[in-house]
Amino acid sequence: MELETEKKEKEPQDSIKQSIDWLFAIPRDISNELKDIAKYYSFLAEKINPKTFSIEIRQDLIQCFESVYLLLIDKMQFYPDAIKNQIATINRENHICDIMAIAGSMEPADLNRIKFKSSFQALADIIPFIGRSFRISIDNGKYVDITRKSLFRLKVSLNRLSSILTYASTMKVADYDGSFYKFKDRYDPDLIDKNKILAFINILRVQINNNSSSKEKSIILEKLDNIETELRRPKVRWGIVITGFFILFGFLADLKTIAPDIYKEPYAIVQKVLATIHEDGVVSAKPPQLLENKKSDDKSEKELIEQPLVAIHQKREEYDSD
């Protein structure tokens, strides 16, 4: 009976872990991925008990928390700013990733020591061993301690995130990736030479750093960083890259009219990038040899049908001689 009970207790954690592993291994519809992350956060919140100062969950499910959060931030790029900002604010104000990083690195005995310190503060101050606390330094000297209060806030925050993601999973967002592949027979972005584009980005970054000192410099460099990050992904979302370069092209075109000495070269580089994106992605319209031969056969057959048939007859003299 105990073994059966133990097995039932492990099954939900195994299921959650498997769904988390799938997030990184199998590309799926984004709404389903958000639902899985929402379920993961809800499961963690359920297992956090501030009263007993414990997180009753396997270490591997705690240790993958930050990677799931970073994946979530990536998935939320096309969602409204209100939702993205709310997620970032909840994490920042409640130090969620920081606390989970500590919890994932600690043994149960360590948590018990902090619990003992919380209950017997005066004694803990006298005995150095018991007085140890586990905390992480953030924001230039500020510390986050794991306490009952911080665990309670963590529990509330995870439930809030779960609710936000459940709502976000019902929304339809623009897909800037799939639309490109509708034209794959004529234009295939996967043919674009990423290394060539990255080389142009490096040249452009050097020019902006050397020649520009205005507020426009930070805007351009930030946009270049975002584009480069996207280009270095295993599966590039070309919609983000191409849109980013078109934005830069328009931005630099305006700056070039104001300060041609500074922005003429950067403008020309972005122009070359767009030309490269266009030329590399164009699929050759020339059909394969076999199709070409078949096409010529079809054409000659059509010509034979449309043109009048001409027969070759013997001359009348030949008939007469016979």
pLDDT digits (tens, 9 = 90+) for 300-310: 544 444 555 44
Residue 87 has what pLDDT? Answer: 94
Q: What is the dihedral of CA 58, 60, 65, 71, to 10 degrees?
A: -140
In the chain, where the domains are located: 9-168, 178-281
Q: Residue 136: its pLDDT value, please?
A: 41
Q: Shortest CA distance to 253 belongs to which of 200, 203, 216? A: 216
User: What pLDDT score was predicted for residue 67?
Assistant: 92
Q: Tokens at residue 202, please? A: 């490096």
Residue 24 exposure: Cα atoms within 13 Å on the Cβ side? 11
Q: What pTM was estimated for this model as a whole?
A: 0.52
Amino acid residing at 185 = D
Q: Bridge partners of 135?
A: 145
What is the structure's pLDDT at 120? 40
State pLDDT tens for residues 174-216: 555 556 666 777 888 888 899 999 999 999 999 998 876 777 8
- Element of type H or E holding 29: none
Q: Please tell me the predicted confidence (pLDDT) of residue 164.
A: 95
Interatomic CA distance for residues 165 and 87, integer angstroms: 9
Q: What residues have CB less than 8 Å from 308, skipping those under 6 apart? A: none
Sites in the chain below the pLDDT cut of 70 = 1-10, 27, 107-145, 173-182, 212, 284-322
User: pLDDT value at position 183?
Assistant: 73
Place of tokens 């509330």: 156
User: What is the structure's pLDDT at 68?
Assistant: 93
Q: Is 145 helix (H, G, I), strand (E, B) or coil?
A: strand
The reported pLDDT for the residue numbered 66 is: 92
